[in-house]
Chains A and B, each alone.
Chain A
């Protein structure tokens, strides 16, 4: 679509086609720049002196504020807190440094602007604009130069050179792309497995003790990690990001989902704490409604119904961990989660 297709009369008249003086013919003509009017400072030297003093005062205040900044830095201990109304208790050094630095800077600016506004010339000047696009002769010269250059290089004639060069230039960035390969390992099946496996005890995150069924009361909320995973472990963060568990106890009668009941122990159910939406630790458990809400994007799951999604952007239920009790009476996992925990991904299936 080129401009040629637009008829000229559709475009408005050029603005500067107005005649410069308003007359009978054109009452809307541009009257031109209004005459300059003097400021008080331009005609009254006393006013100008006042402005000068104001500017000087502002610069002086700035100097004093810088001195104040250095003094505060030296004098105020870095951990001293003070009460400042109405802000509250705050760090004295931060407050003093910020205010003095702010004052020092602001006064320089205020002084300069006041100087410009009251004492520098305020006569408005009109500057001509010139078209950005080049004149036709310039363009013609450039085109001629280019053609000559292209001809001298013979790039149009020697196609073999042109094509191999383009090929080489296309291929060479591939080295850079290949170099990025070692940024990380391939996903493999890592997203499908967690530390949970058959016989692993459920360890209370708070007390670091293995949980017994009697520890978990109806209406309570407990978080667990797999036995053997300690905070000091080098892979703690990666493992807890998948293995974190949320344990609640429901009245077995309240459990609506058959599989959930089968995978529970005396109404104790263990669900992944990691939201299936984008992976926030979801644990806003409402003990009366049995709903859990994600604080990040408000996905809501019903723990009494297989952790089905009842609101929000999550696409599937929270994975449940099958649990039982071992010989010593401790809660244990009866295997890993049977589906990947956390956010969904292409290979999840």
Chain B
């Protein structure tokens, strides 16, 4: 509750409230709309795709081609599915800057969730692909944290580090830190394999496996993670520990030694 009250005055709070209100209204309308529910849904769906297509033409077509077939500047989006769109756009990776370095970084998302859903619907209509996961799929209920840990060490830690702090890949590419990443996005990344990350489809890493991994990550890399020994030092292992030992350990002891060996102040200066 504290967090909520602190964020009430956030500049975006009004927008969030407005969106919530709109969603509620829309939802209520959908529930209470009397006739032809299915037909209404279908037409709503095609309307969404239509909207997505417009957004796509403005924001994405220059690189991915007008029909999502891909160009020399961007891969084909046929069959990548809604999950890939949701991941790439919500984390701000897409649309990418015109000149990116070795890899497209995470940045501020410029689309609303509604717009992202429209884009996703459009891309999904180009070819079958993984759909956006539901809370049920990535939520913590029924997850085995310890199993998730083992799976994480087997499939993920080699790039993302023991507890998801990230790591280096070849030629300036990197596996990003998984700190504060939305569980939904982690799920989508495993499903779709963004950029150079391999995908982990349900056939090789089951839905339950993914749920376990997300629960493990939450346990070891979130605001609530307990580091019993104190400062985590970035969770990077011996390198940061060594630096700390040199600077604060030996540095502190040398400072103490200077005090021990220094001459005591004299009564008068000669």
Contacts and interface: CB of A to CB of B under 8 A. Distances in A.
Question: Are chains A and B touching directly in their complex (CB below 8 angstroms)?
Answer: yes
A293 interface: yes
B226 interface: yes
Contact of A90 (B199, B200, B228, B265): B228
B196 A220 contact: no
Interface string B208-230: 01000000000000001111111
Contacts of B197: 287
Given A89-B225, A281-B158, A207 B209 contact: yes
Interface in B129-167: 151, 154-155, 158-159, 167
A223 B170 CA distance: 21
A81 B226 contact: yes
Interface string B231-270: 1100000000000000000000000000110011111101
Contacts of B209: 206-207
Interface residues of A, number: 51
Contacts of B226: 81, 89-91
Contacts of B167: 284, 295
A219 B230 contact: no
A39 B228 contact: no
Nearest to A116: B260
A100 interface: no
A295 B158 contact: yes
Interface stretch (A15-23, A155-163, A208-216): A208-216
Given A37-B266, A217-B201, A248-B198, A286 B231 contact: no
A286 B169 contact: yes
B199 to A, nearest CB: 5
A28 interface: no
A247 B201 CA distance: 13
A90 B227 contact: yes
Contacts of A230: none
B195 to A, nearest CB: 7
A37 B270 contact: yes
A225 to B, nearest CB: 11
B252 to A, nearest CB: 11
Contact of B227 (A89, A214, A284, A289): A89
B260 A40 contact: no
A311 B232 contact: no
A72 B97 CA distance: 55
A113 B267 CA distance: 19
Contacts of B203: 214-217
Interface string A295-327: 100101000000000010000000000000000
Contacts of B229: 90-91, 94
Interface in A34-93: 37-44, 81, 87-91
B153 to A, nearest CB: 10
A94 B198 contact: no
Q: Residue among B158, B205, B263 with the most chain A CB within 10 A?
A: B158
Contacts of B266: 37-40
Contacts of A214: 203
B204 A284 contact: no
A288 interface: yes
A213 to B, nearest CB: 10
Contacts of A223: 154-155
A161 B226 CA distance: 72
A91 B228 CA distance: 4
Interface of B: 151, 154-155, 158-159, 167, 169-170, 173, 175, 193, 195-201, 203-206, 209, 224-232, 259-260, 263-268, 270
28 contacts: A39-B266, A40-B267, A81-B228, A88-B231, A89-B224, A89-B226, A90-B227, A117-B260, A118-B264, A206-B205, A206-B206, A215-B204, A220-B198, A220-B201, A221-B198, A221-B200, A222-B204, A223-B154, A248-B198, A283-B158, A284-B159, A284-B167, A286-B198, A287-B196, A288-B195, A289-B170, A291-B170, A298-B170
Interface of A: 37-44, 81, 87-91, 94-95, 98, 113, 117-118, 122, 204-207, 211, 214-217, 219-223, 248, 281-289, 291, 293, 295, 298, 300, 311
| Smallest CB-CB A-B distances: 8 pairs | A91-B228, A221-B198, A215-B203, A286-B196, A89-B226, A222-B204, A287-B198, A81-B226
Given A206-B209, A215-B201, A287-B198, 14 more contacts: A39-B265, A42-B267, A87-B231, A88-B225, A89-B224, A94-B228, A113-B259, A206-B204, A220-B193, A223-B155, A284-B159, A287-B197, A298-B170, A300-B170
